[in-house]
Every structure is written in structure tokens, then in C-alpha cells.
Amino acid sequence: MELMKMTMHEVKEYLKTNQTIIIPIGATEEHSNALPLGTDTLTAEALARKLGEVSLRIVGPTINVGNCHSITYSFHGTISISPTTLINYLKDYITSLHKHGFRNFFFVNGHGGNIAPLRCAFDELANTLTNSKFLVTSWWLMEELKELYNNAGHAGRGEVSMIMYIDKSLVKTAFLTEEKREIPKYYVTNDLAQKYITETGIINDSQEGSYELGEKLFNASVEAMLKLLKHLEES
């Protein structure tokens, strides 16, 4: 069930028995020359929709531009919403849903730069909204996927595999490559990102992905998220 395709009557009826909403959030961000700019959004959206399908919960509109203010900001095609603006956007998005009766907010996140703004938004809402629970799940950080994902980096084999599974036509296989280097422990400004962190847009990984790994990562993510969704609702 997608909120965008439902009527207000259908939403009102749903809220009589359930107050959960699943919200996909991603980014429009460089993912090397092999993967689309929407990699994080496409992955989060596909996972959220599958989760909505198996749990019979509503999936809210996808937030498809996120916080990419560091590292990837200077690469062609990246669009970034500043952390402050994103926090405010999230607060308004959640507050609107809360007004109508939603109380369990389950974010399916596809992009690392969104985690801090999401947590800040939750903190800021904790004292203004009532009786609500918030959760952010980032598929590549889930304990259940640790072995499968094996620390794959940005635009690396994990994301290549996910996109191969979601829509193989979006992977430009002729450009698959690798870039591995020591990532500095300090933070650098964006004019130095290509010099110190990545030239190709891949951060510390190879792109030797596969449809089969994508299928495993996808299904394991949905399974783990389903458990968390139940935990959110039942605890």
C-alpha cells in the first residue's frame, strides 16, 4: 500500500487498526560511472515497498534527495539538501502524519548522510509530539547482513549487487572497476575529497557484484526489517 496511491478514506480506515508508516529515504548522489545517481533511493524504495507488501503496512512518499554535503558533493549529478534543511523537512513530514494518527515511524534508509539528520529530527520531535516511536534502518549496517555485505564501501560490490537485483539495466557494466585506498581519519573539505578519499567515486571497494548477491542482500534486509517492524509495533 502506497500512501500516494490511496484515498483519504482508505488512510482513515487503515488508521483505525494500525498506526505504522514505512518511509523510504535515499539520495541523489554519484555512485561511480557504473551505478545510477539514484542508487540509494532506488534501493531504499524497493526495500520499503517489499516490506510494505509483506507486512501490509502503508509506505509513505520516498524522500529522494538527501544530505550529501560531504565527499560526494563535488561529483557531477549529486544534489544535496543541507543537514539543517533536511532536519526541518523531516520534522514537517513526520508532524503531518502524526496529526492524522500515525505513531510508528519506520524509516528505510539508503544513504549514510541521512542518519544524523534523522536522529536530530527524532530528538527535536521527542518533546513536541506525543506517544510516538521512531526507527531508522540502514540496510548495509544491519547486524544480520554483516557477513553477506562484508564491509563493502560506497558504490562498491554491495550496492552494485543490489541494483543488479532491482534493475539490471541500470548497471553500466563496462565501467565497473575498483578503488581501494587508506581513508584518512580526519575530515576534509570537498575540494580535497577527490585527492584524499576517492577519484572514481567508489569508496574503498571493488565493484565485483552479482545479481545473486543482490537477491540475498535484498531478502535478508527485508527479513531483518520485518522483525524490527514487529518489535517497533509490539514493544
Distance CA 207, CA 156 (A): 5
Residue 205 binds to Zn ion (criterion: CB under 5 A): no
Phi and psi torsions of 46, nearest 5°: -65, -40
- 26, 41 Cβ separation under 8 angstroms: yes
The Cα diameter of the chain in Å comes to 55
Shortest distance in whole angstroms from residue 89 CB to Zn ion: 20
Stretch that binds Zn ion, among 2-10, 31-39, 70-78, 226-234 (CB under 5 A): 31-39
C-alpha cell, 222: 527485508
Q: Which is nearer to Zn ion, 39 or 64 (CB)?
A: 39
- Give the number of residues written for the chain: 235
Q: Which is nearer to Zn ion, 52 or 113 (CB)?
A: 113
Q: Which is nearer to Zn ion, 208 or 233 (CB)?
A: 208
Q: Which is nearer to Zn ion, 102 or 218 (CB)?
A: 218
Contacts 24+ apart (CB under 8 A), 9-18: 11/58, 11/100, 14/58, 15/100, 15/101, 15/102, 18/57
Q: Which residue is nearest to Zn ion (CB)?
A: 40
Stretch that binds Zn ion, among 37-45, 52-60, 166-174, 202-210 (CB under 5 A): 37-45
DSSP conformational letter for 67:
-
Residue list 58-97, contact with Zn ion (CB under 5 A): none
Residue list 153-172, contact with Zn ion (CB under 5 A): none
Shortest distance in whole angstroms from residue 72 CB to Zn ion: 9
Shortest distance in whole angstroms from residue 156 CB to Zn ion: 9
Q: Which is nearer to Zn ion, 98 or 111 (CB)?
A: 111
C-alpha cell, 209: 557484484
Stretch that binds Zn ion, among 32-40, 118-126, 171-179, 181-189 (CB under 5 A): 32-40
The angle subtended at Cα 165 by Cα 159 and Cα 167, nearest 5°, is: 95
Q: How many residues bind Zn ion (CB under 5 A)?
A: 2
Binding-site member from 3, 22, 34, 40 for Zn ion (CB under 5 A): 40
Distance CA 63, CA 24 (A): 6
H-helix or E-strand spanning residue 58: strand 58-59
Q: Which is nearer to Zn ion, 39 or 80 (CB)?
A: 39
The binding site for Zn ion (CB under 5 A) comprises 39-40
